[in-house]
């Protein structure tokens, strides 16, 4: 169990491009994707982003080798009807706070995966931040959400 | 009796409201102080008639599943978030039911007849659970199925040739007589859903001559 939590909580520090910004530290936790078929043309990734830095950070997009594009979307179940809308404005993670991308809510949408995503596979999504920095996030493909790590939840 | 009628009306109110818009749904939600508990069968016959094709390419109708407890979920394979979440939840419920899962028919009815061929549905639904049954059909057949479940769906263009479908997020629970017994809610623990399905299985067992609750 402990090992599992450790694996699921691969914390990453912000890799600044050009000017390093030691004050802003974004951590991605419990990133996972559902298995998906390439021929269907979409896949989804969920994760929790925690901002340990002193400045707010906005995630504005991402990319991955395994799909053509990565978009930030949000599902809204409104009046019992499920809809999905793009979030081109991205998602702000407040200083000292966290944002959860989770089923039936915020998600990263992978358009046109180049191959099927199979359970157990690990791939990388590079998130693009508004301050010009990027964050590499290892994503595990799993049929179900990984068990919650003790430090994975911030309410 | 009045109470029961009211519950039956409200139970289908949510999907219907999706089709009718805000005004009506707010009215219905105001009436619905608390959701009907799984032990208050709504008794409303629902989901008949329809004729579709299953993911093995067989022509089926609602009567193909008569006499079984059914879980019914509308969606489409190109749906990346809400449908996999619903199907993943149903898969966990089936696992939670153990041997009793064999008595349940989990139906995923596609509202995207132009893209969801039986063959595509076959590779899609089996990703989640081997027992899942994908159903699709012509536009008219799908419209008919949605109508008898009083559910809403619509096509939304996302630019160019691409589109997504908006649809009800409800997971219907039908008793073996084809009556609506309630809905599963993916926000509830899987154990809650398992209990709801077990109640439906027990209350509608072929030789359930004993009063409900007598044996548990
Ligand atoms: Cu999306």
Q: Which residues of B touch A103 (CB under 8 A)?
A: 81-82, 84-85, 88, 186
Token pair for A16: 């600044």
Question: Scanning the structure block, which residue is given the tokens 């991955």?
Answer: A64
- Domain containing B116: what range? 3-202
Within a domain: residue A27?
yes
Query: Tens digits of per-residue pLDDT, A9-30?
Result: 444 444 444 444 433 589 999 9
According to the model, what pLDDT value does residue B16 have? Answer: 41
Within a domain: residue A1?
no
Residue B54: pLDDT over 90? yes
Within a domain: residue A16?
yes
Residue bearing the bigger pLDDT, A106 or B24: A106
**B60 has a chain A CB within 8 A of its CB:** no
pLDDT band at A149 (very low <50, low <70, confident <90, very high): low
Say whether B169 and A43 touch across the interface (CB within 8 A): no
Say whether A44 and B81 touch across the interface (CB within 8 A): yes
Q: Which residues of B touch A41 (CB under 8 A)?
A: 78
- Taking the centre of ligand 1 as the mean of its atom positions, its distance from the CA of residue A81, in whole angstroms, is 15
| Buried b / exposed e along A112-148 (16+ C-beta atoms within 10 A) | ebeebbeeeeebebebbbebebbbebebbbbbeebee
Contacts of A102 (CB under 8 A, 6+ apart): A46, A145
According to the model, what pLDDT value does residue A125 have? Answer: 98
Query: Tens digits of per-residue pLDDT, B5-42?
Result: 333 333 343 444 333 333 333 333 323 333 344 444 46
Which ipTM did the prediction report?
0.78
According to the model, what pLDDT value does residue A70 have? Answer: 97
Within a domain: residue B214?
no
How far is B24 from B15, CA to CA, in rounded Å? 11
Nearest in space to A24 (alpha carbons), one of A92, A85, A80, A76: A92
**B84 has a chain A CB within 8 A of its CB:** yes
How far is A38 from A40, CA to CA, in rounded Å? 5
Say whether B169 and A80 touch across the interface (CB within 8 A): yes
Contact A115, A38 (CB under 8 A): yes
- Domain of B20, CATH number, reads 3.40.30.10
Q: What is the mean pLDDT of residues B118-131?
A: 96
**B137 has a chain A CB within 8 A of its CB:** no
Within a domain: residue A153?
no
Within a domain: residue B165?
yes
Contact B89, B190 (CB under 8 A): yes
pLDDT band at A2 (very low <50, low <70, confident <90, very high): very low
Query: Tens digits of per-residue pLDDT, B175-199?
Result: 999 999 999 999 999 999 999 999 9
Question: Global pTM?
Answer: 0.78
When divided into structural domains, chain B yields a total of 1
Q: What is the mean pLDDT of residues A49-77?
A: 95
Say whether B18 and A43 touch across the interface (CB within 8 A): no
- Domain containing A42: what range? 7-143
Q: Which residues of A touch B82 (CB under 8 A)?
A: 75, 77, 82, 84, 103-104
Within a domain: residue A40?
yes
When divided into structural domains, chain A yields a total of 1
- The mean pLDDT of chain A is 84
Within a domain: residue A83?
yes
């Amino acid at each position: 169990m402990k090992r599992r939590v450790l694996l699921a909580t691969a914390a990453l520090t912000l890799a600044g491009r050009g000017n390093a910004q030691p004050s802003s530290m974004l951590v991605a936790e419990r990133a996972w994707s559902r298995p998906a078929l390439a021929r269907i043309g979409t896949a989804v990734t969920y994760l929790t982003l925690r901002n340990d830095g002193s400045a707010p950070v906005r995630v504005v997009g991402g990319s991955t080798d395994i799909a053509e594009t990565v978009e930030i979307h949000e599902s809204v179940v409104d009046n019992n009807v499920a809809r999905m809308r793009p979030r081109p404005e991205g998602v702000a993670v407040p200083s000292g706070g966290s944002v959860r991308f989770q089923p039936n809510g915020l998600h990263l949408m992978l358009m046109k995966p180049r191959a099927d995503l199979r359970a157990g596979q690990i791939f990388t999504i590079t998130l693009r931040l508004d301050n010009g920095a990027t964050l590499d996030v290892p994503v595990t493909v799993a049929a179900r959400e990984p068990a919650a790590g003790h430090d994975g939840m911030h309410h | 009796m009045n109470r029961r009628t009211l519950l039956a009306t409200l139970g289908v109110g949510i999907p219907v409201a999706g089709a009718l818009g805000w005004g009506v749904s707010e009215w219905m939600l105001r009436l619905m102080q608390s959701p009907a508990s799984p032990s208050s069968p709504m008794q409303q016959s629902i989901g008949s008639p329809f004729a579709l094709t299953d993911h093995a390419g067989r022509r089926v109708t609602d009567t193909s599943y008569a006499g079984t407890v059914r879980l019914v979920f509308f969606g489409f394979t190109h749906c990346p978030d809400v449908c996999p979440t619903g199907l993943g939840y149903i898969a966990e419920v089936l696992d939670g039911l153990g041997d009793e899962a064999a008595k349940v028919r989990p139906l995923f009815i596609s509202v995207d007849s132009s893209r969801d061929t039986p063959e595509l549905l076959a590779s899609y639904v089996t990703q989640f659970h081997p027992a899942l049954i994908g159903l699709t059909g012509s536009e008219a057949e799908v419209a008919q199925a949605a109508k008898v479940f009083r559910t809403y769906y619509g096509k939304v263009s996302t630019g160019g040739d691409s589109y997504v479908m908006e649809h009800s997020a409800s997971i219907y629970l039908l008793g073996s007589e084809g009556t609506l017994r309630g809905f599963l809610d993916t926000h509830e623990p899987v154990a809650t859903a398992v209990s709801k399905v077990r109640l439906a299985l027990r209350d509608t067992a072929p030789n359930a001559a004993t009063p409900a609750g007598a044996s548990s």
